[in-house]
Amino acid sequence: MPFEPEKDKLLKEWKCEETGLIVSINQYANGQPKVQIGPRILKKQDGTDRAPAKAGRLSMEDMSWLYDIIDEIRDELAARVRPE
């Protein structure tokens, strides 16, 4: 079955302003919502956003930010996941 972009839904998103890392909760069609780490949106010298890039390896700043919001992400995901 080919990927159909119109079935891919962004449910919630968090962005680290210092590093550009994005963490989101996404759902494809009727599947279970899942957490995605990445992409990373970096800034150009003029202050505008560059094209999205892979998250790649996480820095200490990324890890600290993720640690600070992980309970919020878990609670948001738990509220959206259907029991199996």
Strands (E), the chain: 8-15, 21-28, 34-40
* Tokens at 51, concatenated: 């094209």
pLDDT tens for 9-57 read 999 999 999 999 999 999 999 999 999 999 999 888 898 889 989 999 9
pLDDT value of position 74: 97
For the question of whether the overall pTM of this predicted structure is more than 0.85, the answer is yes
Residue 65 has pLDDT above 90, yes or no: yes
pLDDT at 80 over 80: yes
Residue 81 pLDDT > 90: yes
Q: Is the pLDDT of residue 84 over 80?
A: no
